[in-house]
Structure 1
Amino acid sequence: MARYTRTKGSIALITLTNPPVNALSSVVRGGVVEAVARAFEDRQVKAVVLCGDNGKFSGGADIREFAKPMSGPPLVPMIHAIEMGEKPVVAAIEGLAFGGGLELALGCHYRIAHAKAHLGLPEVTLGLLPAAGGTQRLPRLTGIPAALDLITTGRHISAREALKLGIVDQITEGNAVDAAVELALSVIGQPLSPRRLSTRSPPPLADLDSFFDAALAQVKRRSRGAMAPVACVKAVRAAAELPYSQGMQCERELMDTLFTSGQARALQYCFFAQRAAGKWSLPNGAQWNTSRPRAVQTAGVIGLGTMGRGIVVSLVKAGIAVVAVETEKKLLDLGRKLVKGILERDAQRRGVTPPLHLVTFTLSLQPLREVDLVIEAVFEDMELKKRIFSELSRVCKPNTLLCTNTSGLDVDEIASVTDRPPLVVGMHFFAPAHIMKLLEVVCGSRSSPEAIATAMTLGKRMGKVSVAVGNCPGFVGNRMLKLYMDQAYFLLEEGASPEQVDQALEEFGFAMGIFKVGDLSGLDVGWRVRKASGLIGPDVDPKFPSRMRQGRRYSPLLDLLCEQGRWGQKSGRGWYLYDSAGGKEARPDPEIRSFLQEFRLRYGITARRIDAQEVVERCVFALANEGFRVLEDGMAARPEDIDMVYVFGYGWPQHRGGPMFHAAQVGLPRVLQRLEFYYRENPDVPHLQPSTLLRRLVAAGSPPIQQWKQHTGNLHSQL
């Protein structure tokens, strides 16, 4: 709704009221139309101030209405009526003005923002574009380059940046509504034509063709197949080249195409799935989100490798005092230097003082005596972790939560050496931990709801997407990733090259192909883990180990590569060749071609032609198939959680929604048919055999993804 009041005698105050962010629902739009008409008709009203309730202007369209038939007055004519009115309208922006909310403000004649407000047009992140004139008015106000950046990225900007770009006329440290009322009083009677953005021309830009050609090429590279950013470029180009009315027609046509696209559905699915990711219940019926989390004011981090440093930075940026522990002075000094550097660069970028006072570095566990929570981030070795947790039981106060950053080891086994298994939880961060958004919160069989609630809430405080997962080898993400990687190795054995596999996956939408990711992460890390687990041992020929392990096909390709000292970027060569150790530019390596030919010759494999479709289907469908098994086993609460793990932790393209959503979009019968085909071709690869749940869903008529949980039978959640 929109509340109408009068203030200062001649100012109509129209307040958007739709908690929590005053979304422009059909009811709100109807209220605004009525209130604006009332203000324009009232002879005593000389100007209008438009604001939002509870310190927020508007978060934009109500996304929940996207799947429903259109009702209520459309946004475009409503904004047009405000802009063409004969009385000045001032937008008082507090809190936020996003999407349709900012487009509404752009239709006003003046804009004032509180200094702490944020503005943006994030529609592109939902697979859409700003379709209420945003692509046409903003370029006329800020100029084409700035508008194109904001619209194609969807990024949020501060009020100060908005002032610099000319989006707002003033910013205030005080009450934005009061400042807007004063501005409205001061502009009564002044001509409005210069303030109507739709009647302006964009600031001139030399050589439009070259500019937009370059912009389109850049956006295509960055978006990797996403339609919306490309459509945004086309819409802004229309603003630069066409009259306003024709530009609006172009904006509307582009929006019509996007609105019904599968990509928009995928991105909107991700929007809701991210918000639902933390909702689950334990087998005993307890729910973490009804359990009160503990306050965490102080934390310890053990290990200052790449992961530990990122965790320290994330905690400090969340305002938590950290005790960082290392075992050797050299490693401690290096960790201190790198953590300090990250915090200082981040503070400089944000124009604040680095919070270095919040972190203490030490070689002893003793300073962890009084911390509220400890996160262990040492090397992936079970015996090492158990020794640390055993000692933590003696050092820490009895109610300290003990968390492990293991990427796949048994949390229950780690908890077994402590005096407090209910307070032991897995917190699996993703490297670099201060940048990557995913946090897998691993529930041990004895982890208490309070402990899980604390870990989930802490993750949110650190800016992570926290997803609760069960305790099994690899948890959710790495358990599924193993089978995805296996398929990639098998494809190399059968005739593909690393660059061919990577190219197919990047064209699908991944930011980086799997072999480039391996080189970046370091191939030797997993190699050492496989050695420790017995997959590589003295009973295996070190040059040509058997291709079978535990009755199933195993690819020794990566092990052979590591034996040669090819560990990825860190050594200057891995699946690709790099200019130097630590170099980033990957180039195909002729030695890899010889390496693969020698391998195939040794095992009697005749190389065959493998196309991009097979690469994507075998890798992606194997990934989804294991996701169905994860659901069968109760290791994830719902398919949406699995998808969020992959979107935020493994670079899955958001415009494809996640592996489970993608399977639903392709069609479950199609996924089933292709898995059956590949399993017949590769009977020694059991994970290609379609899962029971997939078969059950196809037999049930392929219900919507939100209904899959109903078809897991009598299985009980392991969370």
Structure 2
Amino acid sequence: MARYSRVSDTVGLITLQNPPVNALSAAVRQGIVDTVKTALDDVEVNSVVICGQNGVFCGGADIREFGTPMTGPPLVPMIHAIEAANKPVVAAIEGIALGGGLELALGCHYRIAHSKAKVGLPEVTLGLLPAAGGSQRLPRLTGLPAALDLITTGRHVTAVEALKLSIVDHLTDHNTVDAAVKFAKSVAEQSLDARRISTRPCPCPPDLDALFEAAMQKVRQSARGAIAPVACVQALQAAATLPYARGMEREKELMATLFTSGQARALQYSFFAQRAVARWSIPSGARWDGSKPRPVLKTAVIGLGTMGRGITVSLAQAGLSVVAVEAQEKPLREAKQAISGMLQRGAQRRGVASALDRITYSQKLQALADVDLVIEAVFEDLELKKQLFQQLSAVCKPGAFLCTNTSTLDIDVLASQSRHPELVVGMHFFAPAHVMKLLEVVYGSRSSLETVATAMNLGKKLGKVSVAVGNCRGFVGNRMLKPYMEQGLFLLEEGATPQLVDSVLEEFGFAMGLFRMSDLSGIDVGWRVRKAEGLVQPGTSTRVRNGRRYSPLGDLLYEQGRFGQKTGCGWYRYDNSREARPDSWLYSFLEEYRARHHLAVRRIDGQEVLERCLYTLINEGFRILEEGIAAGPEDVDVIYVFGYGWPKHRGGPMFYASMVGLTKILERLEHYQQAHPDVPYLQPCVLLRRLVDSGSPPVHKWREIIQKTCSHL
């Protein structure tokens, strides 16, 4: 809705009212139409100001209306009517003006912004483009290069940058509405001809074709199959080459294609899934809504390797006091230098003061006596971590939360070493920890709800997307990753190459295929995990371990000292660079391995690579849901999008399964299980069969069947 009032006698004030961000719902749009008409018809009013209540201008379209029949006045004619008004209309931008909110402001004749406000056109992140004139008006203000950057990335810009780009006309540090009213009065008698953005020519560089060719090449490379960034470039090309009215027609055509696409559905699903996981629940049905987190002010990190350094930086940048502990003097000295550099670079990038003074360093656990929460990030060794938890239980104050960054180990075993197992929880960060958005919060059988709530709240404070998951080996992400990686190895045994597997997965949308990723993270890292599981048998290449099929290819590369990028060779070779190049040694190695084990080589196509790698990963996701390790498909999907590089425009593994069709997933798993009976995880799980038997309901209906399935197990 929108409220109308008259201020300073001659200024009509329109206030958008739709908390929390004054989204442009049908009621708000109708309110704008009605109040603009009232203001323009009011003979005492010489100018108009549009603002939002509660210090927020407008967050854009009401995404809850997507997928429902259109009601209320459409946005485009409403904005055109504002621009065509014969009285100056001034947008008073506080808080945010995003998406349709910024398009509304661009339809106004002037824009006054608070210096702390942010603006942007983030529609591309939802698989769409700015379709209320944003793709046509913005480049007429900023020029094409800036508009291409803003619209194809969807990034938010500060008011200061917006002023430099001519998106806003003036900034204020004071009351924005008062400043806008004062400004509106000062321009009441001025001509509006030059203030209507749609009538301006679009400034174009001399070599327009080269600009768009480079822009298209850039988005195709970065988008990895996403269609919305490409459509954004096409819309901006229309702004540069067509009259405004025809450019608007082209914008509308492109939007129509995007709006009904599977990618838009996936991105909008991801948007809501990210919010759903914040309202976490556990199989007992308990929710954190009733469990308040305890305040955490002083924290500690133990172990200052790569992960520990990133966690320390994250905590300090979030304004928390950190005691960073590393037992050995040389690693401590190196960590200090690395952390200092990371904090200084981060501060420069964000234009804020460095957080160096929030960190104190120590080689002694006794320095943790008064901390509220400890995160251990020592070497991934169960006995080492058990010993550490015994020591922490003795050193820390009775109410301190003890958190482990383990990626696979049993939380309950670690909690059993503490005097207060209810205060133990997993906080599984992803490398680099100060950059990656995902945090798996792993609750054990004795973790209290207050403990889980505190860890979730801390994750939010760190700017992470936190997902609460149950305790099992590998939790959610790494547990699903295991069959995915194994299938890649089996494909090599049967005739594929690392390049084939990786190219198929990268074409699907992953930033890196599984073998390039293995080289990046380190083949030695995977070897240690398998060794801890008792799977490694040095000096042998037998293909059966623990009664099931096993590929020793990774172990054999480890024994050759081929650890990946760090040694210059792994699945690929790296000639003094990070660029992965095919390696003739590996081809010979694979040929000899296949011959030694009498393996028939066959042609493997891309579809088989996708199905075997992705469908096995998806099947493990269904098992995780079946066991109650994750509360719903959104939890699994958010973990994979934010932690494992699953292409966001495909929604996540479980959403992708629903798009492919659960019946097809089931049929193909049965096919591969028959072909490879020695691989147990190819057997379709009970939950997948139940969903198919229930008519393959949409993903948002799965929780009902998950609960029924869990009750039968």
- TM-score, length-scaled by structure 2: 0.99
Q: Which residues in structure 2 correspond to 1:218-229 (within 5 Å)?
A: 218-229=218-229
CA positional deviation for 1:714:
4.4
SS of the counterpart of 1:286?
A: coil
The match for 2:24 is: 24
* Match status 1:572 vs 2:558: no
Aligned to 1:549: 545
Q: Is the 8 A contact 2:425 2:452 kept in 1?
A: yes
Deviations 1:34-54 (A, max 9, x none): 000111111110000000000
Counterpart contact for 1:668–1:702, Cα < 8 Å: yes
Q: Secondary structure at the match of 1:73?
A: coil
Counterparts in 2 of 1:427 and 1:628: CA distance versus 1, 3 Å: same
Structure 2 CA distance, aligned partners of 1:372 and 1:269? 36
Report the alpha carbon displacement of residue 716 of structure 1 after superposing the two structures with TM: 5.1
Cα deviation, residue 460, structure 1: 0.7
Distance 1:363 1:128 in 2: 52
Q: Could you say which residue in structure 2 is the equivalent of 1:626?
A: 620
Equivalent in 686, 697, 707 of residue 701 of structure 2: 707
Aligned-residue offset at 1:163: 0.5
Any idea what SS the aligned residue of 1:319 has?
coil
Q: How does 1:69-88 map to 2 (within 5 A)?
A: 69-88=69-88
Aligned equivalent of 2:647: 653
* Structure-to-structure mapping, 1:441-590, within 5 angstroms: 441-537=441-537, 542=539, 544-580=540-576, 583-590=577-584
Aligned to 2:205: 205
Q: Does 1:418 align with 2:418?
A: yes
Decide whether the 8 Å contact of 1:633 with 1:715 is kept in 2: no
Correspondence list, 1:117-136, <5 A: 117-136=117-136
Matches of 1:501 and 1:716, distance apart in 2: 35
- 1:104-148: CA deviations, max 9, x gaps? 000000001111111110000000000000000000000000001
> Counterpart of 1:187 in structure 2: which amino acid?
V
Kept after mapping to 2: 8 A contact 1:327/1:363: yes
Indicate the residue corresponding to 1:308 in structure 2: 308
Residues 1:683 and 2:681 aligned together: no
- Native 8 Å contact 2:687 2:709 kept in 1: no
Instruction: Give the corresponding residue for 1:382.
Output: 382
CA distance in 2, matches of 1:377, 1:289: 29
Q: How far did residue 283 of structure 1 move? A: 4.5
How many angstroms does 1:712 deviate by?
Answer: 2.6
Deviation of 1:239 (Å): 0.2
Matched ranges for 1:151-550 at <5 A: 151-537=151-537, 542=539, 544-550=540-546
Match of 1:670? 664
Aligned amino acid, residue 640 of structure 1: E
* Aligned residue among 597, 602, 622 for 2:596: 602
SS of 1:97's equivalent in the other structure is strand
SS at match of 2:563: coil
Residues 244-303 of structure 1, C-alpha deviation per residue, up to 9 Å, x if partnerless?
Answer: 000000000000000000000000000000000132334554322320101111100001
Q: How far apart, in 1, do the equivalents of 2:532 and 2:625 lie?
A: 29
Cα pair 2:283 2:631 within 8 Å, conserved: no
Q: Secondary structure at the match of 1:596?
A: helix
Does the Cα contact within 8 Å between 1:679 and 1:689 map onto a contact in 2? yes
After superposition, give the CA deviation of every residue in 1:607-654 in whole Å (9 maximum; x if it has no partner).
111111111111111111000000111100001100000000000000
The offset of 1:531, in angstroms, is 2.0
Looking at structure 2, the residues matched to 333 and 646 of structure 1 have their Cα atoms a distance apart, in angstroms, of: 35
Residue 685 of structure 1 aligns to which amino acid in structure 2? Answer: V
In structure 2, what is the Cα distance between the partners aligned to 1:513 and 1:716?
34
- Equivalent AA in structure 2 for residue 618 of structure 1: R
> Structure 2 CA distance, aligned partners of 1:448 and 1:219?
46
Letter in 2 for 1:591: W
Q: 1:468 to 1:622 in 2, by over 3 A?
A: same
Looking at structure 1, the residues matched to 149 and 297 of structure 2 have their Cα atoms a distance apart, in angstroms, of 38
Correspondence for 1:613 among 597, 604, 607: 607
- What's the offset of the Cα at 1:707? 1.3
Letter in 2 for 1:570: K
The equivalent of 1:98 in structure 2 is 98
Q: Secondary structure at the match of 1:253?
A: helix
Instruction: Supply the distance in 2 between the matched residues of 1:214 and 1:630 (Cα, whole angstroms).
Output: 44
| 528-537 or 281-290: bigger deviation | 281-290
Report the residue type matching 2:666 in the other structure. L
Aligned equivalents of 2:351 and 2:640: distance in 1?
33
Contact 2:21 2:59 in 1 (8 A): yes
Q: How many angstroms apart in 1 are the aligned matches of 2:191 and 2:367?
A: 68
User: How far 1:545 sits from its partner (Å)?
Assistant: 2.1
Matched residue type, 1:655: H
Q: Distance in 2 between matches of 1:133 and 1:290?
A: 44
Deviations 1:370-422 (A, max 9, x none): 01000000111000001111000111000000000000100000010110100
Single out whichever of 583-592 and 13-22 deviates more from structure 2. Answer: 583-592
RMSD: 1.0
8 Å CA contact 1:668–1:694 kept in 2: the answer is yes
Deviations 1:43-75 (A, max 9, x none): 110000000000000000000001110000000
Is contact 1:283–1:716 with CA below 8 Å preserved after alignment?
no
Q: Does 1:591 align with 2:585?
A: yes
* Structure 2 CA distance for partners of 1:437 and 1:136, relative to 1, 3 Å: same
Match for 1:549: what amino acid? R
TM-score, normalised by the number of residues in structure 1:
0.98
- In 2, Cα distance between equivalents of 1:206 and 1:368: 63
Which deviations, in whole Å up to 9, do the C-alpha atoms of 1:497-544 show, x marking residues without a partner? Answer: 10110000000000111111111111101212322332113xx6x1x4
C-alpha contact 2:283 2:628 (8 A) present in aligned 1: no
Letter in 2 for 1:346: G
3-state SS of paired residue (1:92)? strand
* CA distance in structure 2 between the partners assigned to 1:684 and 1:55 by the alignment: 62
Cα distance between partner residues in 2 of 1:568 and 1:281: 39
Inter-CA distance 70–120: structure 2 relative to 1 (3 Å threshold): same
Residues 537-569 of structure 1 deviation map (CA, whole Å, 9 limit, x = unaligned): 3xx6x1x42111111111100000011010011
Counterpart Cα distance in 1 of 2:212 and 2:153: 16
**Is the 8 Å Cα contact of residues 634 and 715 (structure 1) preserved in structure 2?**
no
Q: Which amino acid aligns with 2:619?
A: N
Given that residues 115 and 171 in structure 2 are in contact (C-alpha distance below 8 angstroms), is that contact kept between their aligned partners in structure 1? yes
Change (3 A) 1:18 1:467: same
SS of residue matched to 1:712? helix
For the residue of structure 1 that corresponds to 2:347, the secondary structure is helix
SS at match of 1:536: coil
Mapped contact 1:152–1:232 kept (Cα < 8 A):
yes
Partner letter of residue 478 of structure 1? N
